[in-house]
Chains A and B, each alone.
Chain A
Amino acid sequence: MLSAAPTGPGLELDGATLARFMPMHLLTDAEGRALSFGPTLARVLHGAAVPGARFEDLFEVRAPGGAVSVAEVLERMPNRFRLVLRHGARVGLRGLGQPLPGAGRILLNLTFVDLITAAREYGLTDADFAATELATEVLFLAEANAAVTRELKGLTLRLEGARIAAEEEAMTDPLTGLRNRRAVDLVLDRLCAAQSKFGLMHMDLDYFKAVNDSLGHAAGDFVLENVGRILREQLRIEDCAARIGGDEFVLIVTGRSEPATLMAIANRIIARVGEPMLFDGREVRVSASIGIVRSVNCPTVEAAQLFTEADRALYAAKHAGRGRAVLAD
């Protein structure tokens, strides 16, 4: 029986009561030899929790610095000392202690500094804590907070995905899947600012209006989708193909400025677009005229000026009989 009665009514506690109220206590004799362990502390200490075990063999004292024995600890920091287990995981403990009147016994009560790690390390359950301890609340909060953070991370990712999709959509021509005017302006501004070498092509379909008028808009859309596919096939991923109006397209070929290369690309596209297409069993024919301008042609590389030059070349191509490419010089 423990009795402690410095003031007030005398109080007697048996071992079971002590274990229930303080599952992490250690009772030692005056020399620091263990007399009894709280059940949770015994679990944490594993096999080391035997009667007679010495305090300094069980724990390394972190604060007060330099203290080794329980007497030294209590002399300097009786209300808040820190220990680390010598056996198994190096779990940190905080405690308070006091010599009991009478036989010179010492009572220490300990708690985990990092509750979350300790709970995981030892698989602690509610039964390992006194009902009055806030351990469960802390663990509940840690887990609830982790759940909220997880949700917020998920939300951020989903919003980012939606933002990218929206941006992509804002730059895409829905009918052909090619880029749109907005995207062309952005790409051109970027290339001009970087003073890059590139070729700009302005392409217009010939006889497209006739297809629309004679076979209807569905046939027209069919032709545009086909042309979109051809352009995607003929250009590289780093190039840009865009539909900027009814049957008007802009192609930006990056990193290329040799006239022969650009003419070859343009002629290949013209050849493919000129092949007959089958719509509802009926043959549809269009052709393409292309005006080409090279960034190296312009003294100051400026989007508006490049467009004007490409336009002029396109009109020259149309004027020269359609179905051909003209390079501005």
Chain B
Amino acid sequence: MDALLLRSVQNYVLDTFGQARWHEICAAAGQPVQTFEPMLRYPSGLADRIADIAAEVLGRPVEAIWEDIGTYLVTNPDREGVRRLLRFGGVSFSDFLHSLEELPGRARLALPDLDPPEILLTEVGPDRYELRCRSPLKGMQRVLTGMLTAMADDYGALCLIEPGAEDCILITVLDSRYAEARAFELARPDP
């Protein structure tokens, strides 16, 4: 997971703040190589360390950066793949929420040595959910929060999504058909 998140941090910083800031972050981290490969292995904890340094260099709280990265992964048109893979989760936003528990298993089907976070969804009331996300990565909960926010938009659902205590995310669906959902066809538009 570190590799995927490191690459995400890299893409997010490069696309949002430009090359100079990314060089600055890598230099501050003492990283000789400035490209993280999503398919290689990196020491665990490196992603959190780089994000902490990025927070310092960019002058923003690391939580906000992780959340932005989560949103960026879903909404960036160049990385449409993530949004599409998540949309396979279900027809509606609540379907999608329920599918999150299956997501780590699905992800392992494609990448057997991936170490995805453990996800547990509890329905605590009508349209109210508690999502627990267990991962050795400190940033994971915030990344997931950002992703959920973006996916709610994608499904056209109006939601309140906020980080709760520890690894918990609280989700309240206020209106599941607040806006038109973005189109989703099962086959990729271009082969």
Asked if residues B110 and A120 are in contact (CB atoms below 8 Å), the reply is no
Contact of A126 among B84, B85, B90 (CB under 8 A): B90
Contact of A125 among B35, B81, B185, B188 (CB under 8 A): B185
Contact of A135 among B84, B110, B186 (CB under 8 A): B186
Distance of A151 Cα from B184 Cα, bound (Å): 23
Measured between beta carbons, the chain B residues less than 8 angstroms from A124 are: 185-187
Distance of A152 Cα from B84 Cα, bound (Å): 19
Distance of A139 Cα from B37 Cα, bound (Å): 26
Distance of A152 Cα from B4 Cα, bound (Å): 13
Per-residue interface assignment for chain A, residues 148 to 183, with 1 indicating a CB less than 8 Å from any chain B CB and 0 otherwise: 100110010010000000000000000000000000
Asked if residues B39 and A141 are in contact (CB atoms below 8 Å), the reply is no
Distance of A144 Cα from B114 Cα, bound (Å): 13
Measured between beta carbons, the chain A residues less than 8 angstroms from B85 are: 140, 143-144, 147
Task: Tell me, yes or no, whether B20 is within 8 Å of chain A by CB.
Answer: no
Measured between beta carbons, the chain A residues less than 8 angstroms from B90 are: 126
Distance of A124 Cα from B186 Cα, bound (Å): 6
Asked if residues B40 and A155 are in contact (CB atoms below 8 Å), the reply is yes
Contact of A151 among B39, B91, B185 (CB under 8 A): B39
Asked if residues A120 and B191 are in contact (CB atoms below 8 Å), the reply is yes
Measured between beta carbons, the chain B residues less than 8 angstroms from A119 are: 185-187
Distance of A273 Cα from B87 Cα, bound (Å): 68
Residue of B nearest to A150 (CB): B81
Per-residue interface assignment for chain A, residues 282 to 318, with 1 indicating a CB less than 8 Å from any chain B CB and 0 otherwise: 0000000000000000000000000000000000000
Interface centre among B84, B111, B187 (most CB of A within 10 A): B187
Interface centre among A126, A136, A145 (most CB of B within 10 A): A126
Contacting residues of chain B (53-105) with chain A, CB-CB under 8 angstroms:
81, 84-85, 88, 90-91
Task: Tell me, yes or no, whether B38 is within 8 Å of chain A by CB.
Answer: yes
> With A119-B185, A143-B188, A147-B81 as given contacts, are A136 and B39 in contact (CB-CB < 8 Å)?
no
Closest chain A CB from B136 CB (angstroms): 22
Task: Tell me, yes or no, whether A116 is within 8 Å of chain B by CB.
Answer: yes
Residue of A nearest to B38 (CB): A151
Measured between beta carbons, the chain A residues less than 8 angstroms from B186 are: 119, 124-126, 128, 135-136, 139
Closest chain B CB from A193 CB (angstroms): 37
> With A140-B106, A147-B85 as given contacts, are A127 and B91 in contact (CB-CB < 8 Å)?
yes
What is the number of residues of chain B that contact chain A, defined by CB distance less than 8 Å?
22
Distance of A124 Cα from B188 Cα, bound (Å): 11
Majority DSSP secondary structure for residues of A touching B: helix
Measured between beta carbons, the chain B residues less than 8 angstroms from A144 are: 85, 106-107, 109-111
Distance of A43 Cα from B109 Cα, bound (Å): 31
Asked if residues B110 and A125 are in contact (CB atoms below 8 Å), the reply is no
Asked if residues A148 and B91 are in contact (CB atoms below 8 Å), the reply is no
Task: Tell me, yes or no, whether A123 is within 8 Å of chain B by CB.
Answer: yes
Measured between beta carbons, the chain A residues less than 8 angstroms from B37 are: 155, 158
Measured between beta carbons, the chain A residues less than 8 angstroms from B40 are: 155
Measured between beta carbons, the chain B residues less than 8 angstroms from A135 are: 186
Distance of A120 Cα from B188 Cα, bound (Å): 7
Asked if residues A139 and B81 are in contact (CB atoms below 8 Å), the reply is no
Measured between beta carbons, the chain B residues less than 8 angstroms from A158 are: 35, 37
Asked if residues A125 and B106 are in contact (CB atoms below 8 Å), the reply is no
Asked if residues B84 and A143 are in contact (CB atoms below 8 Å), the reply is yes
Residue of A nearest to B79 (CB): A147
Asked if residues B184 and A143 are in contact (CB atoms below 8 Å), the reply is no
Interface centre among A124, A141, A143 (most CB of B within 10 A): A143
Interface centre among B38, B110, B186, B188 (most CB of A within 10 A): B186
Distance of A123 Cα from B91 Cα, bound (Å): 15
Contacting residues of chain B (104-120) with chain A, CB-CB under 8 angstroms:
106-107, 109-111
Distance of A9 Cα from B42 Cα, bound (Å): 59
> With A141-B110, A143-B81 as given contacts, are A136 and B88 in contact (CB-CB < 8 Å)?
yes
Distance of A145 Cα from B85 Cα, bound (Å): 11
Residue of B nearest to A146 (CB): B188
Closest chain A CB from B176 CB (angstroms): 16
Distance of A144 Cα from B53 Cα, bound (Å): 31
Distance of A94 Cα from B38 Cα, bound (Å): 39
Residue of A nearest to B110 (CB): A144
Measured between beta carbons, the chain B residues less than 8 angstroms from A151 are: 38-39
Closest chain B CB from A209 CB (angstroms): 37
Distance of A148 Cα from B108 Cα, bound (Å): 12
3 closest residue pairs by CB, A with B: A144-B110, A120-B187, A119-B187
CB pairs A–B below 8 angstroms (18 shown): A120-B188, A124-B185, A124-B186, A126-B186, A135-B186, A139-B187, A144-B106, A146-B188, A147-B81, A147-B110, A148-B110, A152-B39, A155-B37, A155-B38, A155-B39, A155-B40, A158-B35, A158-B37
- Using a CB–CB cutoff of 8 Å, the interface residues on chain A facing chain B are 116, 119-120, 123-128, 135-137, 139-141, 143-148, 151-152, 155, 158
